[in-house]
Structure 1
């Protein structure tokens, strides 16, 4: 009897042990479940629901209903959406190797498949390190006088009394700064060729991707070929003159892989266009929102003016009419306004990644091939991290924020390498705006349009005039 009992106990222990081992070796999809959520209609998914309303309302309603992890089906792709700081860190930083950057093929065709932000791994790391060299503190500091001059020239052109589209004008400024960053000095002919064709590519970037002649996308593809031709001319001239330089082009010409191979002209072109793309719309959108926020809060505008006028007085006493790097480091209130504007507007509302294998997160399955979307805007507008999140309040940034709750430039290995340059541009243009100009927004102040980044309605039409010096 004792032998039978011992045998039975051994059998039970073996069975439990086998079950435990089996459970531990199961594939993720065998022990985890998909996040809650709706996949919508067959093929269409929830794309129509997303684009028939404010996308922010769509995502906020989903989070309220399902929590901080939920699934959907958008633009023909099954997606898992993440609205917590911890989840965003998991995807973008701690487990970034499990999630590759992903973009529609039509957009890769317009920018160029070799552009930095389409890649991960060794190519991405080497290229990013080189480009960061052109964005080092010393390199950015050297750009201040030129950016200052560009800002003054642009703003003076606004003061004619005509109504301007603030967003489109800001795009001109950010484009010129991008040219400066990439090439340093560039002759007028090449600059105009790049501007004209890049604008055509920009117009077709978010259009329906069809090769039918005359459509915005087809025109953009043709303009993209012309861009490549112009860029190859510039690259050839730089090589002939053996001028490497410390600008982005110089850094790209310095690239070597582990076999000592250099980048082809086409790969260099792709990355130049990628930098132009990254440097333009997002920064222009941010600067346009700051114009609106300051316009809508006269008391805050006066406080920013007072800070900037003190800097002007310091410049005059020093006999230096241009801003310096040190001046831009001494704008505490203005810097908080920039940060709060980036939080409120959340220009990059979310980013796309794709799971390269089945991944389990907090008991949920993220299947291989599914898109993963960290929702920056949802995090930036979460009242747990930012009380009364719809109120514009720069004082929020007087205290240390919880980690991963403020990510206006992304996070991890794919975070925007040009974030310090972007903030520098914004600080310089604010300085000249508030010390030398007045502006009045024309028409309704409310409403948001997406193109694809959020912009005040109609690009914020405004009329500018020079501040009286009497």
Structure 2
């Protein structure tokens, strides 16, 4: 082979090699994304002890201050990536939600029921979410105003008289009754009592150490969960016999058929009913407990809420006529108090997801199988979005918050479907609280306790008295 011809082949080979390398570099990133900054702590236990030995908010805030809005840690036996920006929360919960599945400990799944919508994605989740959201939509719950009002009046009357109550525990009882109303309508007393008795046992075991040793709260909860299934099966059987087209949640679940014409099983219905009770009770009760405290601590704000609610009460012939749906939609001062309570308390401090594939976000790797936690509380308390965030200031909601900075009920396909019912409960309870009662908080303790939702220390001990109508 002549030299020029050989050189031509060499040039062609080198050009082909260069073309291959450039194509490969274009197809593959120059470098694998790196893990976010942070510490994984000790082997296996990670930083769990640091998290639970202090206020969780201090733990997360210190991490964010040191590492930024995305950082790694290792808690509860799992490597985690924490996300503390609105953009990141939206990425996980909305725009790329298919890459992050909901994840719960198996111990909690056993108590709530594996068919509850919270544990699922895809077609089944979409179907159940539509059913639950439809039965708890404004159009559906507007007919519950009078019944919720009766429950609120009954609860407040039982607290009055000056005896010390645990506000959070009493609000939980009220929220449970509202949940039963939304799910079953006007349920017979013996069924309601049996459901309440066994649900309370399940509730006590839900956040306990998961062991099958007899006598432990978790073992008792498993037994009570079986009894709940039996009670719900009886209720489902009675509804099926009557063939009623009720529009409560049970009716919606019973009358639903998928594209193949198949109905939900009794176990699927029971799991979703119990899931709704879990979602509705502690969270709503926590917010109402904080509302009572925030109003108590700010006499000027309390007077503003009273003025608004007393004007409504006066238009209802001093309470002789019931509240109407339209009145609950026109309580601007009280509504802003509720929004600010949701921001300040941030009952859902974060949510758990799990990456179903390696995901890259802002140059960082979120490995498949790692837990991902959008930190709602950090976002709600970020001074960039809420100036002077530790100050309780409902007037900040006179202007709508920036998108994705205020997410008290979550975001995306797994956002709380019962948020309208929760706000309706709060409005009705606050109306009767401020127009007919006065109260004082007992003791001078301040602070927050977690169980797991944040509530004032000791559940906010308080005394209530009926106000004189003269």
Asked if the contact 2:112/2:275 (under 8 Å) is kept, the reply is yes
Equivalence for 2:348: 348
Distance 2:18 2:154 in 1: 77
Shift of 1:468: 1.8
Equivalence for 2:229: 228
Equivalence for 2:334: 334
Distance 1:310 1:4 in 2: 98
Shift of 1:315: 1.4
Shift of 1:254: 1.9
Asked if the contact 2:137/2:418 (under 8 Å) is kept, the reply is no
Equivalence for 1:140: 141
What secondary structure, in the 3-state scheme, does the structure 2 residue paired with 1:106 have?
helix
1:314 aligns with 2:321: no
Shift of 1:462: 0.1
Q: How does 1:67-466 map to 2 (within 5 A)?
A: 67-316=68-317, 321-466=321-466
Shift of 1:14: 4.6
Distance 1:259 1:380 in 2: 44
What secondary structure, in the 3-state scheme, does the structure 1 residue paired with 2:204 have?
helix
Gaps of 5+ in 2: none
Shift of 1:263: 1.1
**Pair 1:3–1:88, CA change in 2 (3 A):** farther
Distance 1:106 1:98 in 2: 24
Distance 1:12 1:283 in 2: 69
**Pair 1:6–1:338, CA change in 2 (3 A):** farther
What secondary structure, in the 3-state scheme, does the structure 2 residue paired with 1:245 have?
coil
Asked if the contact 1:244/1:253 (under 8 Å) is kept, the reply is no
Deviates more, 1:319-328 or 1:19-28: 19-28
What secondary structure, in the 3-state scheme, does the structure 2 residue paired with 1:344 have?
helix
Equivalence for 1:61: 62
Deviations 1:39-69 (A, max 9, x none): 0000001111100000000000110011000
Distance 1:82 1:17 in 2: 40
Deviations 1:348-392 (A, max 9, x none): 000000111111111111111111100000000000000110000
Asked if the contact 1:357/1:369 (under 8 Å) is kept, the reply is yes
Shift of 1:264: 0.9
**Pair 1:232–1:24, CA change in 2 (3 A):** farther
Distance 2:87 2:94 in 1: 10
Shift of 1:19: 3.5
Equivalence for 2:25: 23
Distance 1:387 1:445 in 2: 26
Shift of 1:316: 1.5
Distance 1:4 1:400 in 2: 73
What secondary structure, in the 3-state scheme, does the structure 1 residue paired with 2:145 have?
helix
Shift of 1:137: 1.9
Distance 2:223 2:160 in 1: 36
TM-score, normalised relative to structure 1: 0.96
Distance 2:170 2:15 in 1: 74
TM-score, normalised relative to structure 2: 0.96
Asked if the contact 1:127/1:255 (under 8 Å) is kept, the reply is no
**Pair 1:361–1:243, CA change in 2 (3 A):** same
**Pair 1:306–1:264, CA change in 2 (3 A):** same
Distance 2:448 2:400 in 1: 30
Asked if the contact 2:36/2:81 (under 8 Å) is kept, the reply is yes
**Aligned-pair Cα RMSD in Å:** 1.8
Shift of 1:3: 8.9
Distance 2:15 2:202 in 1: 67
Gaps of 5+ in 1: none
What secondary structure, in the 3-state scheme, does the structure 1 residue paired with 2:317 have?
helix
Asked if the contact 1:355/1:367 (under 8 Å) is kept, the reply is yes
Shift of 1:260: 2.0
Distance 1:43 1:15 in 2: 47
Deviations 1:237-262 (A, max 9, x none): 11011123111101111222332221
